[in-house]
Amino acid sequence: MKYRIISLLTVFIAVFFTNCQPLTSIQIETLVPSQIDFPGNYNLIVFANLDNDINNDGEIDTILYNMITSEMKLGFLDAIKMSAGVDSSVFLYVKGFPDKNRIYASDTISWEYLDRLATNNNADIFILLDSIKLSMESDIYTNFYNEPTEYYKYRELAVLINWSVFDLFERKRLDSYAYKDTLYWEAYGYSKSEVESNLISLEKSIRETAYFAAYDYGKRILPGWKTERRYYFNTGNLDFQMAADCVYNNNWDDAAAIWGKYVDHLDKEIASRACFNLAVANEIKGKFIVAIGWAERSNQIKPKTRTQYYIEILKERQQELEKLEKQLF
């Protein structure tokens, strides 16, 4: 099983360790829990776009609505592929035009209407796009100082989306989130027609904006994987170098057996390093309580700032384990 570390602390440790010769780093994938109280026991997840009047002119914008909805469906599917414990086969989206006013009737949630939307598929988690606002800036410039004359054009598309997630089984809102992003495209050419053809179409810009809005929100609400780094002592004596070779071959058990011979060494630095490395080995194997014990012992033998930060990381991950179990099992 793979685990999560706290990104800000990781950045600090990475900078702190960069010039420390006794340490080497390894890359691991860690599990990032959902930022919301996402349940692990559900039948189907359904996405519905409730905003069909994109231009706010009182009319249904069918083409624009279908374009945005289809791209968001793809964004959520790709977010699910990158998640942990969620399969794309449990994801659907509501076709047609769900009635936002019926869901939010009289400033309350109409669970009965959501139930009707879920009748044919037995869905119990709804991801709703409550509203979307798009604003665009675009201009073209001419650089007469170049020979030949060069043209430059840009397009900037800002999006504001209000998202909601509902649990139909528990009858509660799991999330309410205002998503903001701005995407930027540019192109160069030696004529206006060339620069126009080099800049991607407005349709593609809207599609990309919709896709990434769903993909980013999917990463917020679903547990997923993240690449992180861990550090361990690879020097101290010849045995530590042998243990480093074991780690290189992903043989943590043999490495741990070597480090275990030095946890009571008279040289406090050697003993502290051995305990620290055993903490890392147990963290890799998912044994957080054991890892915390070894890290604390390392710090008792020889207090170090890096070890104290590591203890904090391990304790937080242990606390998050219960949340992850609820999301994944």
DSSP string for 258-290: HHHTTTT-SSHHHHHHHHHHHHHHHHHTT-HHH
Evaluate if residue 7 carries a pLDDT over 60: no
Torsion (CA) 108, 109, 112, 114 in degrees, nearest 10: 150
Evaluate if residue 20 carries a pLDDT over 70: no
Question: What is the overall mean pLDDT for the chain?
Answer: 88
Token pair belonging to 73: 């469906």
Tens digit of each residue's pLDDT (9 = 90 or more) over 247-281: 999 999 999 999 999 999 999 999 999 999 999 99
Report the pLDDT averaged over residues 271-297.
96
264-280 as b/e: b if 16+ CB within 10 A:
ebeeeebbbbbbbbbbb
In sequence order, what are the residues at sequence separation of 6 or more whose Cβ sits closer than 8 angstroms to the Cβ of residue 4? 30, 31, 32, 33, 226, 228, 317, 320
Q: Give the three-class secondary structure for 291.
A: helix
> What is the percent of the chain with per-residue pLDDT over 90, rounded to a whole number?
61
Rounded Cα distance between 39 and 41, Å, is: 6
**pLDDT band, residue 12 (cuts 50/70/90):** very low
227-240 as b/e: b if 16+ CB within 10 A:
ebebbbbbebeeeb
Torsion (CA) 98, 126, 216, 285 in degrees, nearest 10: -160
Predicted pLDDT at 146 = 76
Higher pLDDT, 89 or 51: 51
Tens digit of each residue's pLDDT (9 = 90 or more) over 92-134: 888 788 889 889 877 789 998 888 888 777 888 999 999 999 9
Tens digit of each residue's pLDDT (9 = 90 or more) over 132-146: 999 999 999 998 787
Tell me which DSSP letter residue 212 carries: H
Evaluate if residue 14 carries a pLDDT over 50: no
pTM of the predicted protein model: 0.80
What phi and psi values does residue 159 have, to the nearest 5 degrees? -135, 140
By mean pLDDT, which of 108-122, 208-222, 233-247 is the weakest? Answer: 108-122
Evaluate if residue 290 carries a pLDDT over 60: yes
What phi and psi values does residue 32 have, to the nearest 5 degrees? -105, 120
- Segment holding 187, helix H or strand E: strand 172-189
